[in-house]
Structure 1
């Protein structure tokens, strides 16, 4: 028998930092909003398991969107006139303006990889805007991910980027899920993964300011998989040490893409955090 999921996809148009954007998003459920941010070079399909989790969507309105240039969100007009390099200010603006375009009331923000770092900055800049943040594979500074080789015409970036990121996953995660992550990465536009890692590895740095985050105003949770060698558990531990009151740690048996590579295992870490945030409302 056919099964139709409760996930609904739509587009929303809004202006961010003076640029007109048309952004694709998917949502399911009702209740407090859980806003999900995808990794560098990928798209919101990474959250399909969470969107289809009816136990959680009975409690939360889960929303995941494709950044401009990613997935079903096309680049803005005139995109061919500029090199795509994502900056911290642009990224923060996109998330804030997307949230405002849907009139979201203090959502919980869940981000992974570059978005796992971004949520820390969201908490620092405007703690009253968000109910809480959950960063996966996030740190105050991540080195070594920004490279020029994805632009080399002699390299098939759709294969090489997908395979490079594939190495960040746990060998214990289900093969079908790991191959799904690889597939999503194989479909990114030319230079988009590189442009995202400009934010992640070059522009973003909270080492001198993370201590100013007020976790009494906004809960901060940071989790990293033990097999992650881009943002290591030690990187996340350093962030936890630097942010007074932040919580989290290492997820055993999992890698850099927990919500996509092994959702059942990741769920064991996510649900207690959501329970804690709900009880604190």
Structure 2
């Protein structure tokens, strides 16, 4: 049977702009939200935007208990570069200090009391940085496709991977693609699960194709240079800030790094997601929900995570 017409129906998500002062500059930041309850801040992947989380915003199993907020980082999507500064004369470079300010300041101005943070890729790395440096600001963090450090490409199994202090090669996505968003977007198809619905795979690609030139390489600076928690896993206190890790088993580069990370953080809850890739929330949202919902249940004290 054909799907019923949705002509004239509004989605639950509502979009707004809020001004954030970050490192002394004024930023006009776009976010969409739906639902009520505990805050759930959603961070997109490098070079993309908050549209990756649109399915969570429409999932009543989540929005009935959480105030879901998906934001665009400055320079991404509908969020702008800083006002009052000649940003066009600068090279965009994302740093850990700046990136951690975004969710912490957004939570403050939106009045969120100890929200949950979830992010994928860059957002997954950020989740672990927040657990390390801001454990009392968040009820829990969920790191999708995250790791203590993500360096050189080529690790194909946990046995081959070691987090040694000399592993300073560029991150696996940092290939020289001429910084052409369309070309880069096409490459991202190989990072998605082969069994994910084709329409969602293509939509995820489209998000990347619409990114501004130079933004993706600038984002990658964060987790190829600033994000480095090697030797600090014991400083992540999961009793103060519970840490959950979800990694798609089709994300062939990230899996060994994620598994090595999970082995080092005491009390972490880690799960591999069958058939899923680097963008679980957008490439296969229904399958992703089957892993995420039990985690959210546990965070709210409504049952153990599967």
Is 2:59 the counterpart of 1:53?
yes
Provide the residue aligned with 1:112 in structure 2.
120
Length, aligned pairs only: 276
**Pick aligned residue for 1:240 from 262, 281, 285:** 262
> For each residue in 1:68-96, what CA deviation from the matched residue of structure 2 results, as whole angstroms up to 9, or x when unmatched?
00000011132112111101111111221
Is 2:277 the counterpart of 1:250?
no
**Pick aligned residue for 2:231 from 195, 201, 208:** 208
Gaps of 5+ in 1: none
What is the CA-CA distance between 1:55 and the residue it aligns to? 2.2
CA distance in 2, matches of 1:218, 1:132: 5
What is the CA-CA distance between 1:101 and the residue it aligns to? 1.7
Q: Report matched runs for 1:31-50 at 5 Å.
A: 31-50=37-56
Greater helix proportion: 1
Partner of 1:173: helix, strand, or coil?
coil
Provide the residue aligned with 1:85 in structure 2.
93
Question: CA 1:272–1:146 in 2, change beyond 3 Å: closer, same or farther?
Answer: closer
Contact kept, 8 Å, 1:28 with 1:57, in 2: the verdict is yes
Contact kept, 8 Å, 2:96 with 2:222, in 1: the verdict is yes
Question: CA 1:48–1:196 in 2, change beyond 3 Å: closer, same or farther?
Answer: same
Is 2:182 the counterpart of 1:159?
yes
Contact kept, 8 Å, 1:148 with 1:194, in 2: the verdict is no
Partner of 1:167: helix, strand, or coil?
helix
> For each residue in 1:175-234, what CA deviation from the matched residue of structure 2 results, as whole angstroms up to 9, or x when unmatched?
000000000000000100010011122221001212111111111001110110342x22
Partner of 2:300: helix, strand, or coil?
helix
Contact kept, 8 Å, 2:41 with 2:103, in 1: the verdict is no
What is the CA-CA distance between 1:20 and the residue it aligns to? 0.9
Following TM superposition, the consecutive aligned residue runs of length 4 or more in structure 1 with deviations greater than 3 angstroms are: 145-148
Gaps of 5+ in 2: 1-6, 152-170
Contact kept, 8 Å, 1:117 with 1:139, in 2: the verdict is yes
TM-score by length of 1: 0.95
Contact kept, 8 Å, 2:20 with 2:105, in 1: the verdict is yes
TM-score by length of 2: 0.87
Contact kept, 8 Å, 2:251 with 2:278, in 1: the verdict is yes
What is the CA-CA distance between 1:149 and the residue it aligns to? 2.6
**Pick aligned residue for 1:141 from 145, 149, 153:** 149
**Pick aligned residue for 2:209 from 186, 190, 194:** 186
Q: Report matched runs for 1:61-76 at 5 Å.
A: 61-76=67-82
CA distance in 2, matches of 1:113, 1:226: 14
